[in-house]
């Protein structure tokens, strides 16, 4: 049995039971040291209660002397809030999500909120993450990125008064910030059309089985643009394929094998567009001479391969989402605002627009 010997500087036992942290000074120690009651210490801690300057000084000195810091766990238990925000995000290795997270970070910076991140890779992860959200009240609020919450989650959130905001996903009951994929797709297609193309294909990805619907929003946009330009729609020009460069590569190959191959293609993700570029290269096609390409998202790579693309304001979406949540946390009640952003066309070298440069001078570039 270990006796607490506060005064004696006895040898610490070299080994400790797992995870048992060292004893820290508590509010009581500070109170004793300063010769005041713990209530007073608490007051100087929170700062929002009247304390006599002299008393305050004594307490602060005591805190400094003891190296005191309040226990978050105890505060959380007592205040019934953790000062933590949970974010649930699909494989955050993707540039898109990293940018969103950066934006969230920006919003939360200096607010004292910590961020706990749940990275979701499989549907099971998602369920676990969602479950965790409601079960363990680790967080005061949640940010859900590109994931569609199911009704039971929404119900639980509301029942628990746990504010949540959706980013790149939406639901009438929750605040959300999204980008208008339909419109963006239409704009990308329009751009190609404006450049004189009449055979414009679409390559896009399947929606993740457990994510929000981005692809399914782009397709109508593409079709609408076609219709507005009175270009007949062709089923064989719409290729839905894996969300990988290889997917894009395969897609373009099959498109090129058509009797009437397209002269331009709108690709629903830059990731796939990279593969499209590769396929164009292997086919000996000049880009944009023989084939114009417009990607989607404007991931980091896009700039280096000269890919024209629709820039999705990922960072800003994250930031606004974070702000919305902060707001809800302040108000104590969520207002279901829905922010909608537009993507922006970034013209580079793969579409043959105004700014025209050879795709690359480096023979290494795909």
Q: Which of 66, 98, 148, 256 binds a copy of itself (CB under 8 A)?
A: 98
> Could you tell which of a copy of itself, DNA, none binds residue 364, using a CB distance below 5 to 8 A set by kind?
a copy of itself
Among residue numbers 318 through 337, which ones bind a copy of itself (CB under 8 A)?
A: 329-333
> Peptide bond before 239: cis, by omega within 30 degrees of 0?
no
| 36-71 residues labelled b (16+ CB within 10 A) or e (exposed) | beeebbbbbbeeeeebeeebbebbbebbeebebebe
Q: Which of 153, 185, 265, 305 binds a copy of itself (CB under 8 A)?
A: 305
Minimal CA–CA distance to 148: which of 211, 56, 104, 85? 211
Residue 274 and residue 299 in contact, taking contact as beta carbons nearer than 8 Å: no
| DSSP assignments along 225-280, one per residue | HHHHTTPPP-GGGEEEE-SSHHHHHHHHHHHHTSSS--SEEEES-HHHHHHHHHHH
Minimal CA–CA distance to 338: which of 168, 154, 162, 86? 168
Residue 203 and residue 252 in contact, taking contact as beta carbons nearer than 8 Å: yes
> Could you tell which of DNA, a copy of itself, none binds residue 54, using a CB distance below 5 to 8 A set by kind?
DNA
> Could you tell which of DNA, a copy of itself, none binds residue 36, using a CB distance below 5 to 8 A set by kind?
DNA
Per rule CB under 8 A, is residue 172 in the interface with a copy of itself? no
CB of 135 to a copy of itself, least distance (A): 4
CB of 27 to a copy of itself, least distance (A): 13
Q: Which of 73, 151, 230, 257 binds a copy of itself (CB under 8 A)?
A: 73
Locus of tokens 């086919």: 283
d(CA 69, CA 38): 14
Per rule CB under 8 A, is residue 74 in the interface with a copy of itself? yes
CB of 236 to DNA, least distance (A): 59
CB of 102 to a copy of itself, least distance (A): 5
CB of 74 to DNA, least distance (A): 3
CB of 7 to DNA, least distance (A): 17
Among residue numbers 103 through 122, which ones bind a copy of itself (CB under 8 A)?
A: 105, 114-119
> Could you tell which of DNA, a copy of itself, none binds residue 81, using a CB distance below 5 to 8 A set by kind?
a copy of itself
Residues that bind DNA (CB under 7 A): 23-24, 26-28, 35-40, 42-43, 45-46, 49-52, 54-56, 68-71, 73-75, 77-80
């Amino acid at each position: 049995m270990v006796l607490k010997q506060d005064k004696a500087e006895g040898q610490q036992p070299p080994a400790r039971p797992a995870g048992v942290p060292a004893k820290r000074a508590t509010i009581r120690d500070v109170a004793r040291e300063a010769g005041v009651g713990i209530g007073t210490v608490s007051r100087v801690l929170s700062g929002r209660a009247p304390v006599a300057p002299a008393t305050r000084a004594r307490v602060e000195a005591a805190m400094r002397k003891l190296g005191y810091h309040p226990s978050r766990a105890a505060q959380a238990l007592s205040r019934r809030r953790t000062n933590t925000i949970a974010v649930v995000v699909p494989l955050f290795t993707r540039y898109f999500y990293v940018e969103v997270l950066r934006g969230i970070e920006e919003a939360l910076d200096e607010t004292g909120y910590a961020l706990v991140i749940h990275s979701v890779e499989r549907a099971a992860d998602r369920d676990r993450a969602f479950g965790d959200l409601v079960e363990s009240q680790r967080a005061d609020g949640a940010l859900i990125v590109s994931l569609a919450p199911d009704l039971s989650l929404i119900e639980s959130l509301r029942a628990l008064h746990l504010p949540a905001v959706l980013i790149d996903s939406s639901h009438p009951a929750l605040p959300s910030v999204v980008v208008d994929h339909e419109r963006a797709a239409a704009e990308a297609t329009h751009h190609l059309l404006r450049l004189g193309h009449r055979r414009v294909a679409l390559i896009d990805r399947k929606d993740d089985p457990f994510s929000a619907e981005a692809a399914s929003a782009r397709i109508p946009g593409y079709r609408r643009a076609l219709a507005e330009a009175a270009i007949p729609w062709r089923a064989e020009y719409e290729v839905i394929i894996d969300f990988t460069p290889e997917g894009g590569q395969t897609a373009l190959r099959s498109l090129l094998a058509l009797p009437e191959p397209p002269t331009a293609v709108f690709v629903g993700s830059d990731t796939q567009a990279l593969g499209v570029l590769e396929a164009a290269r292997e086919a000996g096609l000049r880009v944009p001479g023989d084939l114009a390409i417009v990607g989607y998202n404007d991931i980091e790579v896009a700039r280096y391969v000269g890919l024209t693309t629709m820039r999705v304001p990922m960072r800003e979406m994250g930031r606004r989402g974070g702000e919305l949540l902060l707001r809800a946390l302040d108000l104590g009640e969520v207002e279901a605002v829905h922010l909608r952003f537009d993507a922006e066309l970034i013209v580079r070298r793969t579409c043959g627009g105004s700014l025209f440069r050879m795709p690359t001078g480096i023979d290494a570039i795909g």
